[in-house]
Structure 1
Amino acid sequence: MPTPERTKIMGVLNVTPDSFSDGGRYFDHDAAIAHGFELLRSGADIIDVGGESTRPGSVRVDEAEELRRVVPVIRELAAAGAVISVDTMRSKVAEASLNVGARIINDVSAGLSDPTMLAVASETAAPVVLMHWRGYLDRASASFYYDDVVAEVIAELKMRIDEAITVGVEPDNIILDPGLGFSKNAEHNWQILGALDEFANLDHRLLVAASRKRFISTLLSPKDPKFAEESAKDQATAAISALSARAGAWAVRVHEPTTSAIAATVINAVNSHSPAATPDVRAAKGNA
């Protein structure tokens, strides 16, 4: 049995003026590129570059503007050897990003926003993140109802898996994201986090994206979530990263990589010494 892989850290790089956590900080290309390198130095294995906010109430930018925001940043970081995912719901943005060095497509709509997205993933053989989604966040309140959030999210993800495979995406190139915060309230999010093992057992890689989301702020500052401190939200995110790693997640998507990378490294050590690991693996880790 090989040594278990550490859960990867996907660092968030929003080249936007209006993202919920860091909108405007890295809107300038030079600032975005510099922050990308800082994310790598802080422990990120992958940089997730996005040019369009998906926060509640955000207004979609046009395709040309999204391309203008992300392509130069991706080109520069990829040329320096960074592993890049592009956070987009547009197939043309995904294709252009892959052409300048991105390796992964991260589509929060799982191909529902742009019906040609899955075809691009198939034709380019790029890994694609399929996130659970019930529509744009400005219209999502009507979709918050679940009889069983875990079962329903899994069922809806399986429908997207089937669609992706039908258009030619290789099963090994499918990555699943349960969509924390998208068409879900805080209780739904915590229920999903309590059932991460079920998502990890779907025979596809699992991405968990909880970083700085409102349900964390609500937990830390119940009277007024906007008073939750960013550092506290990052510590809470690292705890979720540890839970995700323990469940076998392929990656966690975070704004602040350092603490989540430490958490993932600790859990990897625990997993490597668990009864499920062979004696040879445990011995090798002990001599490291």
Structure 2
Amino acid sequence: MTGWHASDDLVSRYGDGSLPEPDAWSLEKHLETCGRCASRVSRAVRETAAGVALAQVREAVLGAAPTLPTATTPTTTQPHARPRARPLALPSPGPRLAHLLWAAGPAVRGAWLPAVLLVAFGAVALAYGADITGVRPLLLAVAPVVPVAGVALSYGAHADPLHEIAASTPSAGLRLVLTRTAAVLAVSVPLLTLAGLLVPSSDAPGAAAWLLPGLALTLASLALAGYVDVRTATAVTGGGWLCAVLAPVLAAPGGHLTARLAEQLQYCLDGAPAQGGWAAAAVLSAVLLAARRPAYDRLERR
């Protein structure tokens, strides 16, 4: 027992998950020795929507799989257990892998992965099955926005039915956003690059020319998400890229569409100046992302 006790505002913010991680961890340390505050926090947690949902999820899980190890809930026996930590109480074996798959979220499930496969294998099928020339420029024009779209579809209440609980975990905020972004890149980069290598082209940039632009656009989307919501940020960056690439092609008179697109991509992607510019943009976006780190604790909960 200590002489200091948590204020009502601190308890309330802890319960709804809006308390920054350093303050939350400090409070949790205090709760280990203060039964009075632990009781207040437990009551506040149980009254939140996350607490109610967590209790329902726990009952359903325990009812479906009685062999799972018992997970403590916010009760009077351990009142400081935050509801945001409970979905991570996974059974052995392989809890780390299950935790990683849960954190990756919609990036490794749902409709996004089939869409990436459709883009990659569709490009190869058009090039060889339909004998269509100029497929690589089309693929390179679309590839940089694929991970951007994946970020938009992998974070937020629209994508994850457990978003409210996930957003209240100690791994939420920027850490969770980066985890899901890494999963998006891990899926899209090898598939699209391999498709670019398999698609023949003599006038378009190399198959890997889109990697730095894709990374820069993804980081720019995350940096912009510190000011607006994720979907708006990705719409701005992804839409800006498509406008910058396609607008001059559509506006130019005469010539074959894919040939004009290949020329535009040569200007945007090919050569040291273009790639250096994308690398600088990626570094700048990463710096802005780090500078705005506290803003991601409230991402999609504003």
Higher strand share: 1
Higher helix share: 2
**TM-score in terms of structure 2 length:** 0.25
**TM-score in terms of structure 1 length:** 0.26
| Structure with max Cα Rg | 2
